Structure 1
């Protein structure tokens, strides 16, 4: 998810949380914001796309893993300012728990990911994570992740 620098309004990003047998799937971000840090796979919500489809799409684009969205497990916000305190990036980030339908062990770094790991949650917490990923994984480790459901209406 290459970020839009100096946006005129907040952008919506989605993250795909894939866990299996105490392990979590992470990608190393190849674009700002967070370039070089580890995070859950994710990217921009596209116009007309619902959050669940976006998370599943981004997961497949960045890792090759196909999965079924189960529900929203986190909402966070990233506001990054430049040296003059002008907003450089502003994202509302929605994390979706995904049940993998293909093995995360066979995942490969694609698209905006420069590297990929499928690693124990404890080891993941020792990595150089984005702030949003760290918050999500800390809540997961504490057993404080609950599924929320999002409704989409057309009119």
Structure 2
């Protein structure tokens, strides 16, 4: 008998630019509409997590990333979100442009992050994983 998870599989990408700024998007849709978070979304049928995070970041930010290690997993309501540390692909775009489920996308430093309305629990989670903006 196969046991299925009650959670909806999602991924997120934690991306820093060369200056140590963290990539964030402002969500255009629920959950968290109008709030800032790391980019990501649902894993589609047939995708593995790395494929999904590359697709989601391209759709939401226009950036091409290379996924790396799993940083951590959070559960938000029905969603199980696996967040991966990603690097910008060499030769690809270096500045994000909002698309799909995001109405804004940008790299933020510590001061910029402090001024944003972020989704519940994001700051505590990123702090616990030591992945807040580095400068």
Report the Cα offset of residue 141 of structure 1. 3.7
Residue in structure 2 matching 1:140, options 118, 131, 135: 131
Report the Cα offset of residue 132 of structure 1. 4.8
CA RMSD, 1 decimal? 2.1
The aligned length equals 125
Residue in structure 1 matching 2:113, options 117, 120, 124: 124
Distance 1:99 1:40 in 2: 14
Could you say if the C-alpha distance between residues 28 and 123 of structure 1 is closer, same or farther in structure 2, counting changes exceeding 3 Å?
same
Q: Tell me, what secondary structure is at the counterpart of 2:124?
A: helix
2:13 corresponds to which residue? Answer: 16
Could you say if the C-alpha distance between residues 141 and 42 of structure 1 is closer, same or farther in structure 2, counting changes exceeding 3 Å?
closer
Q: Which runs of 5+ in 2 are unaligned?
A: 1-5
Distance 1:77 1:141 in 2: 19
2:3 corresponds to which residue? Answer: none
Q: Tell me, what secondary structure is at the counterpart of 1:109?
A: coil
1:28 corresponds to which residue? Answer: 26
Q: Which runs of 5+ in 1 are unaligned?
A: 1-8, 80-89, 144-155
Q: Tell me, what secondary structure is at the counterpart of 1:34?
A: coil
Q: Tell me, what secondary structure is at the counterpart of 2:131?
A: helix
TM-score normalized by the length of structure 2: 0.83
TM-score normalized by the length of structure 1: 0.73
Could you say if the C-alpha distance between residues 70 and 61 of structure 1 is closer, same or farther in structure 2, counting changes exceeding 3 Å?
same
